[in-house]
A and B are shown apart, each in its own frame.
Chain A
Amino acid sequence: MVSRFPSSTATATTASSSFFAFLSEDVVLDILAKLESDPRDWARLACVSSRFSSLVRAVCFRSHCSRYLPPDLLPSTAAGAVAWSSLHKLSVCCPGLHHAGVLLEHSDFGLERDIGPHLAPPGPSFSSSSCSSDPRNPPSQALSDVSCWSLFDDLYFDTVYDSSEAQDVACTPIEPSPGDNHPITVGSIAPNRRTKPWVGPTSSHLATGPWTLSRVQGNKLLASRYRNDCLYICDWPGCTHAEEKRKYMLFRGMFKNFKRSRVWKTINDLNKGKIRLACAFCACRETWDLHSAFCLRRIFGFHDDGEPVVRAYVCENGHVSGAWTETPLYD
Chain B
Amino acid sequence: MAKMIKLVSGDGAEFEVEEEVAFQSKIIKDIVADADDVIPLPTVSSKVLIQVIEYCRKHAAVNSFPLSPSSSAAAAASSSSSISYSKPVSDPALRAWDNEFVKLNNSSLFDIVIAANYLDIEELVDLVLETVADRIKGKQAQEIRRQFNIENDFTPEEEEALRRENSWAFQNN
Chain A residues packing against B (C-beta within 8 Å): 1-2, 4-10, 12-13, 15-20, 22, 27, 30-32, 34-35, 38-41, 43-50, 52-53, 85, 89, 93, 96, 201, 203-206, 280
Contact = CB atoms under 8 A, between A and B. Distances in A.
Contacts of A43: 166, 168-169
Given A10-B110, A44-B166, A89-B165, 16 more contacts: A1-B120, A2-B118, A4-B117, A6-B114, A8-B44, A15-B111, A18-B148, A18-B150, A32-B133, A38-B138, A46-B166, A48-B141, A49-B145, A85-B165, A93-B168, A203-B167
Interface in B35-81: 43-44
Contacts of A52: 150
Contacts of A204: 167-168
Contacts of A13: 107
7 contacts: A7-B43, A8-B43, A19-B106, A43-B168, A44-B141, A44-B144, A45-B141
Chain B contact surface mostly: helix
Contact of B150 (A10, A48, A280): A48
B118, B122, B166, B167 interface centre (most CB from chain A within 10 Å): B166
B141 A47 contact: yes
A12 B162 contact: no
Contact of B149 (A5, A16, A206): A16
A32 B120 CA distance: 21
Interface string B131-166: 011001111110011001111111000110011011
Interface of B: 43-44, 105-108, 110-111, 113-115, 117-118, 120, 122, 125, 129-130, 132-133, 136-141, 144-145, 148-154, 158-159, 162-163, 165-173
Contacts of B120: 1-2
B49 to A, nearest CB: 12
Nearest to A16: B107
B110 to A, nearest CB: 4
Given A9-B43, A12-B110, A47-B166, A201 B171 contact: yes
